[in-house]
Amino acid sequence: MERLSYKTLEKLGFEGYLMPEGTERVLQFGEGNFLRAFVDYFIDLANERTGWGTKVVVAQPIAQGRSEDINRQDGLYTVYLRGLENGEQVIRKRVVSSISRALNPYEDYGALLACAANPDLRYIVSNTTEAGIAFDENSRFDEEPPGSFPAKLTRFLYERYSCFKGEAGKGLVILSCELIDHNGDELKRCVGQYTELWKLEPEFAGWLDREVIFCSTMVDRIVTGYPRAEAETLNAQNGYEDLLLDTGEVFAIWVIEGPKELEDELPFKKAGLPVIVAEDCTPYKKRKVRMLNGVQTTMVLASYLSGQDIVRKCMEDPAIYSFMERCVYDEIIPVLTEYPKEELEDYAAGLFDRLCNPFIDHSLLAISLNTTSKWKARVLPTVREYQAATGGLPPRLTAGFAAYVMFYRGERLEENALVAHRGETEYRICDDMEVLRFFEAHKSDSPVELAGAVCRNEAFWGGDLTEIPGFLELVTEYLQLFEREGVHRVFELLGN
């Protein structure tokens, strides 16, 4: 079977959209599954629907990467998006042709710098993992390439500035897709630090301020990557071998925090794609964190303790599904008063479609990582706002906290994890070491004693949770119910 390429597709009589030639307007740091099924996929659709004619040059951000595979396939790869829309199963297959070529700066750094001289270049996209946006004082200007990603970007921007002698209109738009808060702002800060560290001229710093737009963005799509179990079957169906097969969910949203003019400059809105240019990403992120992440954090540990292992199976359990529905509609949506209720309910409907996705086996234990900080950021604000608005407590969110206390009752600390048991099954609790040491120190506490100690731990929550009227008492009540009748019984009671 031949590898995927333009020639192979021609032999097969391929009739879908392909764009062999185009203008390289985008440089992308990162060639992994996420960007290829998200940004590059959107660009490909925009090319087809609007005639944008834009190609992406991808640069692998670390020494080990996929540039060779990408070039062997002429930049082509197949994406399968699978999931539910309005409760109906959807499968979308597309051969993406938006990538022109891939660069390995660790083998040919000059090829990367040469892109700076391209007058058509306008956008830089990055997704170098959460740890990628960090200042490393050991990264040097004269390295080939510099060590950290912000250092690579600073060196590239300086090359751009030098090639065009600081000309107005030759600046770039930076679209940071790393999963950290205010990613664009943080990247800009790091670039400023390297400008100072390397003693680059003040004129360059002025050009950065005037001509380079650093955009924070919020990205949202689950990308499951290369489908190892299905790859042989899919390749046989397609009639070609594709080592870059990529899979993900149907749902997606990309919010770009930037000037209004970008909405007209970028053709995504014209193409009918879920890309929003906004003055502030915060409202979109808050909605996602409070609703999608909040309900997941609330149900995951309780669901695991009740005997479930993956999200999809939880959604097939009527009691858990009803519990989650009431959590979202009765406890989370009512406090998000700055959003139109209809908009929140539409988002909630899509949220449940995502969680029910029959093509994704999302492990509950994988989601359980670092639940302490997740609960503080995703759930605690809703609890406080609900209590302030109603004078009472949200029962399902509080039950989720009780499940957190029960789940974290470990027995021994080993290899950066606290080991616990669900019946005969051993599981590992993974969190910050200070959290794990706290729970190990309290391993002999009764559930009620432990709940009190956890609630009073101001280092975890930024305050004493026993000061929330009735909170500790309700948590204690649920813990006693867990022990007396089982966790699933609480799902049944609170789902009605």
Each residue's pLDDT tens digit, 259-293: 999 999 999 999 999 999 999 999 999 999 999 99
In the prediction, which pLDDT does 238 show? 98
Residue 337, token pair as written in the block: 């008063």
Say which CATH topology domain 6-279 has.
Rossmann fold (3.40.50)
In the prediction, which pLDDT does 390 show? 97
In the prediction, which pLDDT does 416 show? 87
Residues of the chain with CATH 1.10.1040.10: 282-495
Q: How would you class 110 by CB atoms within 10 Å of its CB: exposed for 0-12, middle for 13-18, buried for 19 or more? A: exposed
Residue type for position 473: E
| Residues 333/343, Cβ–Cβ less than 8 Å | no
In the prediction, which pLDDT does 62 show? 87
pLDDT, tens digit (0-9, with 9 covering 90-100), for 142-177: 999 999 999 999 999 999 999 999 999 999 999 999
Predicted confidence (pLDDT) at residue 454 exceeds the cutoff of 70: yes
Q: What is the mean pLDDT of residues 90-95?
A: 97
- Chain centroid, CA 84 distance in Å: 19
| Residue 415 banded pLDDT, cuts 50, 70, 90 | confident
Q: What is the mean pLDDT of residues 410-432?
A: 94
In the prediction, which pLDDT does 128 show? 86
Task: Give the 3-state secondary structure of residue 145.
Answer: coil
What is the DSSP code string of 307-329? T--BHHHHHTSHHHHHHHHHIII
Q: How far apart are CA 308 and CA 302, in angstroms?
A: 9
Say which CATH topology domain 282-495 has.
N-(1-d-carboxylethyl)-l-norvaline Dehydrogenase; domain 2 (1.10.1040)
pLDDT, tens digit (0-9, with 9 covering 90-100), for 219-267: 999 999 999 999 999 999 999 999 999 999 999 999 999 999 999 999 9
Whose tokens are 């999963």? That residue is 179
pTM of the prediction? Answer: 0.89
- Chain centroid, CA 454 distance in Å: 29
Average model confidence (pLDDT) across the chain = 96
| Residue 130 banded pLDDT, cuts 50, 70, 90 | low
Q: Which residues fall within 8 angstroms of residue 58, CB to CB, at 6 or more apart?
A: 28, 29, 30, 31, 35, 40, 67, 70, 99, 101, 102, 103
Report the alpha-carbon angle 155-210-111, nearest 5.
25
Residues of the chain with CATH 3.40.50.720: 6-279
Partnered with residue 90 across adjacent β-strands are 83
What percentage of the chain carries pLDDT values higher than 70? 99
